[in-house]
């Protein structure tokens, strides 16, 4: 036993560890359940009584020395870690946390709203589930008028005089604003609209519109034209020109559709503008006297203009993403292209 104790003392003296793992392995080798020192302690039981005192002392010293050595190794390894840096490499790039970003439709909707806010317009919103009165009746669509078929409506309830439906345009918010807001009125109404259309690259059953309404004394078509020109230049650049084509909407008279000069070819003609040099962006007109009357406004004293545009349509023109479905599929690869697009 004496030789065994001396041998272990010798081994302890030569013991080295450069990592925490090596220090722990050393502890297990000497002091673990099946360790060398532990084994000797067990053998001690068989030592002759007259030698017990001597060996007992030696074994105790050995155990102390082994403990001290292991402690020393462990703290040396720790010290080295403090001195030479932790075992984690702090110069490694961190795990990036994916940040969400605004949806392209939200970016464009906000830009449209911000432009009109600068012109002094308020923002108004209304319900997506509307009644026939606010979507059609008050906007001068008489019952059974063929113009109702311009918009394929999703009905929520039917069978009575004023059925509930998913609004097909945000023009319904015009009516709600005229009903409750004192004159003059200057609002834009952003919102989601619904139409019973087969989904394709050019049509979707859900999309977004921004409606505009301005009612005051002596509002003229010239005011409408100027407001839209200023908007178009803010949205598509200072060189942008507009043109108006006569059109028909039940709620405006006269009515027009507005084109902007193509911001890709600058009027020369390209495949985006189909060679015409112009891109359609909205419908507009002077609010029909019947619409003013329906909401209790006297058309002899007040006049106004209204306009309505599709947000996806404007986004398509800005970014040349010509398949509407991309805006609704939430494919991360598509959405991430707009992560930094606060300004278009
Ligand atoms: N509500 C029309 C649509 O959804 C767009 C529109 C056209 C709105 C002319 C207007 C307007 O306010 O004056 O197609």
Q: Is 211 in the pocket of ligand 1 (CB under 6 A)?
A: yes
Amino acid 94: pLDDT: 85
The protein residue whose alpha carbon is closest to atom 5 in ligand 1 is: 308
Enumerate residue ranges in the chain where pLDDT < 50.
344
Structure tokens at 54: 């001597």
Mutate to test the pocket of ligand 1, among 150, 188, 196, 211 (most ligand atoms within 8 A of CB): 211
Q: Phi/psi zone of residue 224: left (φ > 0), alpha (ψ -120 to 50 degrees), beta? A: alpha
102 contacts 165 by C-beta, under 8 angstroms: no
Amino acid 85: pLDDT: 66
- The rounded distance, in Å, linking the Cα atoms of 241 and 322 is 22
Q: What atom of ligand 1 comes closest to residue 150's alpha carbon?
A: 14
CA of residue 244 to ligand 1 center, whole Å: 14
Q: Which residues pair with 213 in a beta bridge?
A: 187, 306
- Nearest residue to 260 (alpha-carbon basis) of 244, 284, 283: 244
Q: Is 307 in the pocket of ligand 1 (CB under 6 A)?
A: yes
CA of residue 85 to ligand 1 center, whole Å: 67
CA of residue 275 to ligand 1 center, whole Å: 26
Q: Which residues pair with 284 in a beta bridge?
A: 256, 307
CA of residue 220 to ligand 1 center, whole Å: 18
- Taking the whole predicted model, whether its pTM rises above 0.75 is answered as no
- Nearest residue to 258 (alpha-carbon basis) of 266, 250, 249: 249
Amino acid 264: pLDDT: 80
CA of residue 50 to ligand 1 center, whole Å: 112
C-alpha separations of 317 from 108, 154, 213, 260 in Å: 11, 28, 23, 10
Q: Say if residue 330 is preceded by a cis peptide, omega within 30 of 0.
A: no
- Nearest residue to 248 (alpha-carbon basis) of 135, 166, 140: 140
Amino acid 159: pLDDT: 66
The protein residue whose alpha carbon is closest to atom 3 in ligand 1 is: 169
Amino acid 86: pLDDT: 64
Amino acid 190: pLDDT: 98
Q: Is 285 in the pocket of ligand 1 (CB under 6 A)?
A: yes
The protein residue whose alpha carbon is closest to atom 12 in ligand 1 is: 307
Q: What atom of ligand 1 comes closest to residue 169's alpha carbon?
A: 4
Can you give the residue ranges of every domain in the chain? 2-84, 104-338
Q: Is 195 in the pocket of ligand 1 (CB under 6 A)?
A: no
Q: Is 73 in the pocket of ligand 1 (CB under 6 A)?
A: no
Q: Which fold is adopted by the domain 104-338?
A: BirA Bifunctional Protein; domain 2 (3.30.930)
Q: For the chain, what is the radius of gyration of the CA atoms?
A: 40
Amino acid 147: pLDDT: 66
Amino acid 167: pLDDT: 96
């Amino acid at each position: 036993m004496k030789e065994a104790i001396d041998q272990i003392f010798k081994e302890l003296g030569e013991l080295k560890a450069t990592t925490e793992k090596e220090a722990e392995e050393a502890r297990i080798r000497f002091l673990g359940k099946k360790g060398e020192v532990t084994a000797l302690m067990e053998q001690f039981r068989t030592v002759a009584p007259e030698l017990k005192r001597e060996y007992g002392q030696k074994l105790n010293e050995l155990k102390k020395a082994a403990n001290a050595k292991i402690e020393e190794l462990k703290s040396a390894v720790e010290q080295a870690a403090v001195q030479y840096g932790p075992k984690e490499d702090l110069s490694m790039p961190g795990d990036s946390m994916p940040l969400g970003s605004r949806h392209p439709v939200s970016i464009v909707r906000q830009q449209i709203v911000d432009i009109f806010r600068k012109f002094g317009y308020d923002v108004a919103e209304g319900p997506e589930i509307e009644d026939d009165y606010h979507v059609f009746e008050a906007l001068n669509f008489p019952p059974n008028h063929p113009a109702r078929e311009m918009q394929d409506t999703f009905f929520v309830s039917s069978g009575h005089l004023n059925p509930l439906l998913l609004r097909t345009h945000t023009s319904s918010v015009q009516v709600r604003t005229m009903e409750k807001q004192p004159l003059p009125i200057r609002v834009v109404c952003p919102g989601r609209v619904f139409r019973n259309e087969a989904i394709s690259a050019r049509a979707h059953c859900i999309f977004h519109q921004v409606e505009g309404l301005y009612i005051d004394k002596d509002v003229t078509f010239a005011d409408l034209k100027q407001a839209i020109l200023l908007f178009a230049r803010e949205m598509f650049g200072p060189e942008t020109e507009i043109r108006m084509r006569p059109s028909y909407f039940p709620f405006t008279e006269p009515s027009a559709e507005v084109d902007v000069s193509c911001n890709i070819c600058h009027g020369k003609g390209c495949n985006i503008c189909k060679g015409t040099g112009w891109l359609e962006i909205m419908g507009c007109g002077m609010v029909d006297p019947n619409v003013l009357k329906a909401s209790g406004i006297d058309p002899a004293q007040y006049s106004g203009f209204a306009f309505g545009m599709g947000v996806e349509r404007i986004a398509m023109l800005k970014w040349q993403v010509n398949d509407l479905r991309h805006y609704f599929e939430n494919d991360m690869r598509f959405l991430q292209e707009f992560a930094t697009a606060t300004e278009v």
